[in-house]
Amino acid sequence: MTNKLLISIFCLLLSLSALAQKDKKKIEEKKAEDKKEQTKQNVEGLVIVPADSALVRKEIDPLRPSKAAFYSAILPGLGQAYNKKYWKIPLVYAALGTGVYFYIDNNKQYKRVRDAYKRRLAGFEDDEFQDRLTDDGLREAQKSLRRNKELSLLVTIGLYALNIIDANVDAHLLQYNVDENLSFKPHYKIDEFDKKGTVGLTMSFKLD
């Protein structure tokens, strides 16, 4: 199980590294496209704006997502602080703390059962489970608690990886901004002259 766990962690780190490289490449390609768009000449004093440019890009730091992921890898929550998403930091530590708590608890219970089983094998009959569990029961309890301990560890590692991915994705989203001049507003109107009470729904886009 230890070897599988190490392999899983190694694969996870490789995946995160590949994701960071892929994201960096996409940002560089998008930045090159933006430069091409900026070279378009004005027509009659009006800047040509692509019709599908609903998102307006902020000043881009190509390494920002990688930095955020790196900071969260060093210290969980640090990437969220770098992205100024401070409200996420308690959630990160609550999730990781829960995983660590269950791992420690399962490990503690496992050692109790294991020690009791070893004493019985040595011929002692004074363990704390003497009147509650048979030898077979102790063996099964060890298997169950070992499985729960390993599962808790895997869940904690998964939450740690999720903390890194969250920081990386947030950093990407912060590279974009919706222009305040663009608006999308739903509007409804009840037809007062229709006896059936028909309700109409319209949606309008406003571009100032």
d(CA 122, CA 124): 6
Cα distances from 156 to residues 2, 12, 195, in angstroms, run 15, 13, 60
pLDDT at 109: 94
pLDDT at 149: 93
Tokens of 14: 């490789």
pLDDT band of residue 62 (cuts 50, 70, 90) is confident
Question: Looking at residues 36-46, what average pLDDT do you find?
Answer: 50
pTM: 0.59
Tens-digit pLDDT profile for residues 94-106: 999 999 999 999 9
Cβ contact 207:184 at 8 Å: no
Does the pLDDT of residue 17 top 90, yes or no?
A: no
Domain ranges of the chain: 63-174
pLDDT at 87: 94
d(CA 199, CA 117): 73
193 versus 134: the higher-pLDDT residue is 134
pLDDT at 56: 46
Question: Looking at residues 191-201, what average pLDDT do you find?
Answer: 56
d(CA 30, CA 63): 14
pLDDT band of residue 196 (cuts 50, 70, 90) is low
d(CA 113, CA 107): 10
181 versus 42: the higher-pLDDT residue is 181
pLDDT at 53: 44
Cβ contact 138:117 at 8 Å: yes
Cβ contact 129:171 at 8 Å: no
CA-closest candidate to residue 168, choices 59, 20, 56? 20
The region of weakest confidence among 2-16, 66-80, 104-118 is 2-16
Cα distances from 94 to residues 51, 131, 184, 192, in angstroms, run 44, 38, 37, 53
158 versus 201: the higher-pLDDT residue is 158
Does the pLDDT of residue 163 top 90, yes or no?
A: yes
Q: List phi, psi (to 5°) of 101.
A: -60, -45
CA-closest candidate to residue 22, choices 160, 165, 159, 162? 165
Does the pLDDT of residue 5 top 70, yes or no?
A: no
